[in-house]
Amino acid sequence: MTSPAANPPAATPANTLDVRDAVKSYGDVKALQGVSLNIAPGQFMALLGPNGAGKSTLFQLLSGLFVPDGGAISICGEDFLKKPTVGLAKIGVVFQQPTLDLDLSVTGNLRFHAALHGLGRAGRERIAPLLAQVGLGGSEDKICRTLSGGNRRKVELARALLHRPALLLMDEATVGLDPQSRTSLMALVRGLCRDQGLSVLWATHLVNEAEQADRVYVLHRGKQLIEGTPAAVTAASGCATLEEAFLKMTVPPPGAPGAGGKPVEKTA
């Protein structure tokens, strides 16, 4: 196992997200084994791992769907486990599986979300500017079923941003999208980090997405393998590219138990 390129900084209220020694098991399956990570305001962190690494479990903990068996989670300095409603108000989520009501209009989906957050008129007034920001200006009345996969994702992104969260969770959000849509979505989210100080945790198994992050956190079989800038992770592994480093860390050598799988993809 590779040693971390850089230990996460100490927990501090200045961080948008602090996860300390998070543990989660499902029966005999240890999904997370002492995971710790921090994300500062405006930072884009890629959570890189093969299928079954524990990425979705971590997102379920961060979105309040499950409670960890052990460890601590803080959102903007607040104890998420003690004050989940406070933390959830500061988090936006785009899940891997589509969650739009396809028979509603774009505006209808966003208004429903605004009502759930109790945003009232202020929330409704944010819809048109936000849709313009994500490149969907003029699409307010379109039925979501008529939109392309990439534009549906943009609606989900706009919905996740409607209540102005400090932390955006993107769980394999580019799965099923064509290369142009993936590139567009990544550029859009990176711009939000740069221009608005949004913190992002972007779960992916695509190395070329992780290469664009400020920091990369490699998760495998519920454990942290390494964390640092893409360059630091690559250098610490002794490899020439991040893809080679990831394969070296997560693919067992020929003949070893578990060999034969291909846990990483590199898109064009």
Encode pLDDT of 224-252 as tens digits. Answer: 999 999 999 999 999 999 999 999 999 86
Residues 152, 139 share a domain = yes
Does residue 265 lie in a domain region? no
Encode pLDDT of 95-147 as tens digits. Answer: 888 889 999 999 999 999 898 888 888 888 999 999 998 989 999 999 999 99
Which helix (DSSP H) or strand (DSSP E) does residue 255 occupy? none
Does residue 260 lie in a domain region? no
| Residue 268: per-residue pLDDT | 36
Residues 150, 174 share a domain = no
Residues 105, 63 share a domain = no
Domain range for 220 is 1-90+166-254
CATH number at residue 226: 3.40.50.300
As a whole number, the mean pLDDT across the chain is 88
Does residue 181 lie in a domain region? yes
Does residue 264 lie in a domain region? no
Amino acid at 75: I
Residues 204, 135 share a domain = no
Domain count, the chain: 2
Coil vs helix vs strand at 30: strand
* Residues 63, 224 contacting (CB under 8 angstroms): no
* Residues 69, 23 contacting (CB under 8 angstroms): yes
| Residue 78: per-residue pLDDT | 94
* Residues 73, 61 contacting (CB under 8 angstroms): yes
Residues 5, 82 share a domain = yes
* Residues 128, 141 contacting (CB under 8 angstroms): no
Q: Classify burial at 103, counting beta carbons within 10 Å of its beta carbon; exposed 0-12, middle 13-18, buried 19 or more.
A: exposed
Encode pLDDT of 50-89 as tens digits. Answer: 988 999 999 999 999 999 999 999 999 999 999 999 999 9
- Output the CA torsion sign for 235, 205, 249, 15: positive
Reported residue count of the chain is 268
